[in-house]
Structure 1
Amino acid sequence: MRLVRYGETGHEKPGLIDEENHLRDLSLEVPDFSGEGLSRHQMDRIRALDVKSLPKADPSHRIGPCVGNVGNFLAVGLNYADHARETGAAIPSEPILFNKAPSCLAGPQDELILPKGSETTDWEVEIAAVIGTPALYVSQEQALDHVAGFCLCNDVSERTYQKERGGQWVKGKSFPTFGQLGPWLVTPEELEDPQSVDLWLDVNGERMQTGSTATMIFSIANVISYASQFMRLMPGDVITTGTPPGVGMGMNPKRFLKAGDIVTLGGGRLGEQRHVVKAFED
C-alpha cells in the first residue's frame, strides 16, 4: 500500500494511492496515520478494504508529510562509508544517532525554507523507517517486524549550525521544512527489500546524489535494533537512516542551497519530491 496524508498543513486527512494512481479518501476508516493509526491491526484493516469502494479525492490537494504527530524523529549520521569520506569523517564503529525536531516536518512538495542568514544549507536524500509497534531491546532479526512502512526523506541540514554552534547536530537539522517526508508511506510488502533501494537527488536538474541502500554501513534493521537498546521506539516514530555521497558540504568547492533553487529527489517505490527553496520571511 501507498499511504498518504493530504490537505492543508495541520489539517491533513489519511488516504491512499491506488494501483491506477488515484487518491482515495481513508478518513472514514482511520483518524490519521499517526500513533496507533500505524499499528499492525490498523494496517491489516486497511489491506482488507475494497479500495475501489473508497471515495476518490481531488488530486489537486496538497500532499502532506506521510506521518502525523511524530513523537520522536531520529536520524543516523555518516551511515554510508563514501559519504563519511567525502566529509572527512571517520567511519563510525556504531550508528551515530541524533534527533530532528518533529516541528521540522514538511510535505513532499512544500517549499524548503532557508533560516535567516543561512549560507550553508545542504541536502540529504534518505530512506526513513516508520515504527508501527513498540520496540525495546529488539533483535536485528525482529526489528523490521516493528516497521509500519518506509518513506523518502530529505534530511535538510544547516552545516554551520550543525558543525560550529556547540556540537549538537540537532541545531542544524531542525528548522521548519528540514524534515521533508513522503510523498507516501510504503508498507513493507510493497517495497520488498529496503536494502536495495536506489536513491537520487538533483539541484536545478543537475544530479548531485546517486546511491543505494545496499551500501549502508548499518542496515535499517541494525539501526532499529541499536536504537531500541537506548529507548522505547513508539508507533509513529520516524528513523531516517543516512545519506549516500554527493552532499554540498563534500564538494570542492562546497556548494549550498540558495533562494530560487529547485531540489528534486527520489527512490524507486518511495516516490519523488520537489521543493522550491525560499528565504525565510518574517
Structure 2
Amino acid sequence: MSSTSPGASQAAALDAPSRTFLADVWRRFRATPGALVGAVIVLAIVLTAVLAPVLATHDPLAQDVALGATPPSALHVFGTDKLGRDLFARVAFGARISIRIGFVAVGLAITVGTAIGVIAGYGGRRADAALMAAMDLMLAFPSIILAIGITTILGPSITNLMLAVGIVYVPQYARLARSSVLAVKEHEYVEAARAIGAPTAAILARHVLPNILTPLLVQATLGIATAELEAAGLSYLGLGARPPAPEWGAMLNDARDYWLGAPWALIVPGVSITVLVLGFNLLGDGLRDALDPKTR
C-alpha cells in the first residue's frame, strides 16, 4: 500500500484550482462553435501573414501595366488590379500590415488606458475626477472624426495611423480599468495589504493588476476587430498606408475608380477585412463567455 505525505497532499491541493480553472476555461471555449471558428480564422490569417513570402508566387509590388486588371485565373488566383499587380500576393502581404496595425493600436490603447484607469480608480477623488473628465471629453467626439483629426495633424502614414487609432480607444480601456479597480480595491486582501503597510506600487502589481487583466484582455480581443475597421476606413480615405503599400483599406480606395469593370479588385480586400473582423469578434465573444465567472 502506497502512502502520500501530508506535504505532497497539500501541494496537490494548492495546484488543483489553477489546473481546474484553466481546464474549465478551455472546456467552455471549445464547447462554443463560434469561438473555435474565430480562432481558426485568426490563426489562418496570422499564418498567411507569416508565410506570405512562401505562399505568394508574385511580387506584391510588381506592376504589369500591359496586363491590367484581369479576372481570377490559374496564374492569378484572385486576379490582378489595374496596374497588373497580383491581388493574392497583395492580400497575403497586406495581412502583415493589417494585423500589425490592430495589435499595435490596441496594445497602445490598453497600456495607456489601463495606466489611466488604475490611477483614477486607486488615486482618490481628485485624480479620478480629472482623468475621467479628460476621457469623457475624448468620448464626446465620434471615434472616426477624432482619428481623422489626429492623422491629419500628424500626416498620413502607417505609424501615425496606428498612433491615431490607439489614442482614440484609450478612453474605453481607461473606463474599464477604473471600474475594475474600484471593485477590486474593496476586497479583503487589498485592505489587508494596506493595513500591513505594503507600498502602493506593490499592492497594484501583486493584487490589483492581476485581478483586472481578464476583462481588459477580452476587450482587447474584441477591440482589435474595431481597430481594424477604423484603420481600413482611414486608409480608404487616404489617411493611412501610402501607395504602393498592400494595405487592405488602401486597396479598397485604389479599386473604387474601376470597380464596375473589375469588381474582384474591390471584393478581395473587402472580404479580407470582413473575415478578419469576424474572426476577432467570434474569438473575443468566446473568450468572454469562457472567462465569465457567472457561467462557470
Same fold (TM over 0.5): no
TM-score for the superposition, normalised by structure 2: 0.25
Q: Higher strand proportion, which one?
A: 1
Q: Which has the larger radius of gyration?
A: 2
The normalised TM-score by structure 1 is 0.26
More helix by share: 2
